[in-house]
Amino acid sequence: MHPAATMTHVHRDMTARLVLDVTSPARLVLEIAVSHRHDPVEELSILSGGRAVVPREVVDPHGSRLHVLDVQPGQLTVDYRASVTGRAEPEPGDPSDELLYLRPSRYCESDTLAPTARAEFVGLAGVELLGAVSSWVGTRLAYAPGSSLPTDGAVRTLLARRGVCRDFAHLVVALLRALDVPARLAAVYAPGLDPMDFHAVAEAYVEGQWRVLDATTLAPRSSLVRIATGRDASDTAFLSVHRGTATLRELQVSAVADTLPDDDVRELVSIG
């Protein structure tokens, strides 16, 4: 049975808790809420100095939800919980997206990596290419928490041969774009992930659909729940700080599912 079929009625629960020290008046942007495409049942609580803060929600064309809040100095606590049953409707293809996600971006330097991509994957295309790129990245990088900087891109990741999920995803995306396959990054909740955290995966546009690739193989792809979608991690960061200063003191993430399906890396899977 296709792994996605087992997820038709499965129930998934997600939580996130952030505690920040805000040291000067700041505008914060959170991307922790489940995408509208999943139609979640959810609750978001934000307290600044013990007082409730009501954020402004901005939704992008992919259904990613950004919560914008202006806060004063003090401790800020964010608690989010959501439940999702079944699978989201697949995102329709968009010609402008196909062009956008062929371009190099800050963390996915596909132009620099083009000679490497062409040499390593000569003669491959379509589904065969997706599997080859994901496996290549997964076997050449070591998953090592704390081994990379937030500013590291795909080139530096390849040179270091180690990183975390976003580094794996950036390298997959950059190599695919270098081979003229539209590719992007998705931030997700990932039931089964160990160690548990926000997770990042790559998506490639093939045969008229966006298909998910996870070179870390740390969680079954068909159990993923989308948070945000973008060119790379600069578009999908769970926290951005503007017009002030704030330090993240605590981060807790959980994601569980009634059923964790097997994940056959040869299967084409979409986030749902």
193-245: pLDDT as tens digits: 999 999 999 999 998 899 999 999 999 999 999 999 999 999 999 999 998 99
Mean pLDDT of 131-157: 95
pLDDT band at 91 (very low <50, low <70, confident <90, very high): confident
Tokens 């546009």 map to which residue?
A: 205
Q: Among the CATH numbers 3.40.50.300, 2.40.37.10, 3.40.50.150, 3.10.620.30, which is that of 95-236?
A: 3.10.620.30
What does the pLDDT average to over 140-149?
94
Question: What pLDDT shows up at residue 5?
Answer: 46
The CA-atom distances, in angstroms, between 149 and each of 85, 164, 167, 174 are 35, 10, 10, 18
Q: What is the pTM of this model?
A: 0.94
pLDDT of residue 6: 52
Residue intervals in the chain for CATH 3.10.620.30: 95-236
The per-residue pLDDT for 4 is 47
Helices (H) and strands (E) in the chain, counts: 6, 15
Name which residue leads in pLDDT, 72 or 4.
72
- Cβ atoms of residues 15 and 252 within 8 Å: yes
The mean pLDDT of the chain is: 93
Instruction: Give the mean model confidence (pLDDT) for residues 124-132.
Output: 94
Find out whether the peptide bond into 191 is cis, omega within 30 degrees of 0.
no
The DSSP output letter for 45 is E
What pLDDT, in 10s, does the model give residues 18-66?
Answer: 999 999 999 999 999 999 888 899 999 999 988 999 999 999 988 999 9
Does 121 have pLDDT greater than 70? Answer: yes
* CB < 8 Å & 24+ apart, contacts of 142-148: 143/168, 143/216, 143/218, 145/195
Question: Start-end ranges of CATH 2.60.40.2250 in the chain?
Answer: 3-87+239-256
What number does CATH give the domain 3-87+239-256?
2.60.40.2250
